[in-house]
Amino acid sequence: MIFVTVGTQLAFERMVRVIDEWAGSTTPAPKVFAQIGPSEFVPKHIEHKAFIEPSEFVERARAAEAIVAHAGMGSILTALSYGKPIVIMPRRADLGEQRNDHQLSTAARFKGQPGVFVASDETELPAILDSLRDLQAAEPIPPFASPSLIKAIHDFIDEV
């Protein structure tokens, strides 16, 4: 199952529309569940809900073969913590999908990181979706900060 999430604040119709069209034209039809937010677009080829409870989010993320999401840190960290490959597509401010372009910066920073695959826009997304079965996840990250990071923060606070 492919788990698609757009986050909890805004719809991301540009991404959901591409995934829905891809699912409708792919044989055999992939099993996709999408959390689509407050969207006016109604997918025809994928199972979807506007919002899901946190417990369902965790259940679907853990069960997924891959996660496809906006370039939100919560989605990225969730996928990395569960050892799932994640495809991210950043929202763009110039298209009214976000207040600023911080997701473009997040996508640029994570591009090339193990387990994270970036579709810069809707033209790149279908090819990455076609290769989902071949994408490799990174080793799961721990749920806590590393001891070296904790020490660095502690040392910084002591200096202030």
So what's the pLDDT on residue 90? Answer: 98
Domain 2-159 has CATH 3.30.750.200: no
The whole-number mean pLDDT for each consecutive block of 10 residues of the chain, a chain of 160 residues, reads 93 97 96 96 97 96 97 95 97 92 96 96 97 91 85 90
State the Cα–Cα distance between residues 106 and 108, nearest whole angstrom.
5
State the Cα–Cα distance between residues 80 and 67, nearest whole angstrom.
10
State the Cα–Cα distance between residues 145 and 85, nearest whole angstrom.
21
So what's the pLDDT on residue 160? Answer: 75
Query: Does residue 35 sit in helix, strand or coil?
Result: strand
So what's the pLDDT on residue 125? Answer: 98
So what's the pLDDT on residue 83? Answer: 96
Please check whether residue 90 is in contact with residue 120, taking contact to mean a CB–CB distance below 8 angstroms: yes
Amino acid at 100: N
Please check whether residue 115 is in contact with residue 86, taking contact to mean a CB–CB distance below 8 angstroms: yes
Q: What are phi and psi of 96, to 5 degrees?
A: 75, 20
Q: Which residue ranges make up each domain of the chain?
A: 2-159
Sheet containing 2-5, strands listed edge to edge, beginning at the edge strand earlier in sequence: 47-49, 32-35, 2-5, 66-70, 86-89, 116-118
Structure tokens at 96: 């009214």
Q: pTM for the complete prediction?
A: 0.90
So what's the pLDDT on residue 8? Answer: 84
